[in-house]
Amino acid sequence: MTELDATTREALAELLLAVADDEFVIGFWDSEWTGIAPMLEEDVATSSIAQDEIGHARALYELLAEVTDDDADRIAYGRDPEAYRHAALLNHRRGDWAFSVARRYLYETADAVRLEALARSSHERLAQLTGKMRREETYHLLHAEAWLRRLADGPADVRERLADAIRRLWADAQQLFAPLDGEGVLVTAGILPQPMATLHAAWTARVRAAVEPIAGKLPDAAPSADGRTTRTDDFRWLHGEFTMVAGGVEAATW
């Protein structure tokens, strides 16, 4: 890996943290369905997808740990809630099945756009890692689409649950493309092949065509500067859960 200057390294760290935290937090929320999903077969499928996300998060934290000379578990578990950089979309508890399906769909379509760009990164390790992730995400997108369609094609009340969830999540979904600190440096270096705003436009165009027939016309919404820094009580609860064991005993290995 060619040596990066301090500014580029910092900007890369922001990017990796954003993607890793997204995968980490959505993996956590969806892993909560393990054991209680609507059907036994679906339970296993949802759990696999959640586990994949945690696996991706782990790989990203490990890469980040190399860049910043840190430790993956410490990055994952050792920050205060305010120091996490996941998008606002992931601030919500998993909700009911329609909510999870809607969020999963919005997330997977955005992740596909993001990974497609990062797989062309000039940063070789990042390109390889995101290339691998894209292969696993193929299944995630197929599965998310399968459920979106099934709920959308269901009876009126089912369709309405889904529509309502999409409407509630729409503004926060934009934050997956919230501008990153130091993004310009990454774009210049080719580490981030396109700015977040460009990726956002590509995603919006694709996803509106799929969700507006279900949820009706959705408002214009742009990512905001604080799209990755607002925190909610839901997330604070989650943070409390995942830091509970490690926090309880001093300096232990688990």
Contact residues for another protein (CB under 8 A)? Answer: 28, 31-32, 34-45, 47-48, 50-51, 54-55, 57-58, 61, 72-73, 76-77, 96-97, 139, 142-143, 146, 150-151, 154-155, 157-158, 161, 238, 241-242, 244-246, 249-254
Least distance in angstroms from the C-beta of 75 to another protein: 10
Least distance in angstroms from the C-beta of 118 to another protein: 21
What is the b/e burial string over 71-83, where b = at least 16 CB atoms within 10 angstroms of the residue's CB? ebeebbbeeeeee
Find the Cα–Cα–Cα–Cα dihedral 22, 25, 29, 34, rounded to 10°: 100
Q: Which is nearer to another protein, 62 or 172 (CB)?
A: 62
Tokens of 53: 């996300």
Least distance in angstroms from the C-beta of 44 to another protein: 4
Least distance in angstroms from the C-beta of 26 to another protein: 13
Least distance in angstroms from the C-beta of 191 to another protein: 24
Q: Which is nearer to another protein, 131 or 154 (CB)?
A: 154
Q: Which is nearer to another protein, 114 or 143 (CB)?
A: 143
- The number of angstroms, rounded, from the C-alpha of 244 to the middle of its chain's C-alpha atoms is 23
Q: Which is nearer to another protein, 95 or 179 (CB)?
A: 95
Least distance in angstroms from the C-beta of 61 to another protein: 7
What is the b/e burial string over 196-234, where b = at least 16 CB atoms within 10 angstroms of the residue's CB? beebbebbbeebeebbeebbeebeeeebeeebbeebeee
Q: Which is nearer to another protein, 124 or 233 (CB)?
A: 233
Q: Which is nearer to another protein, 30 or 111 (CB)?
A: 30
Q: Which is nearer to another protein, 96 or 220 (CB)?
A: 96
Least distance in angstroms from the C-beta of 250 to another protein: 7
What are the CA-CA distances from residue 142 to residues 147, 156, 211, 217, 241 (Å)? 9, 24, 16, 24, 31
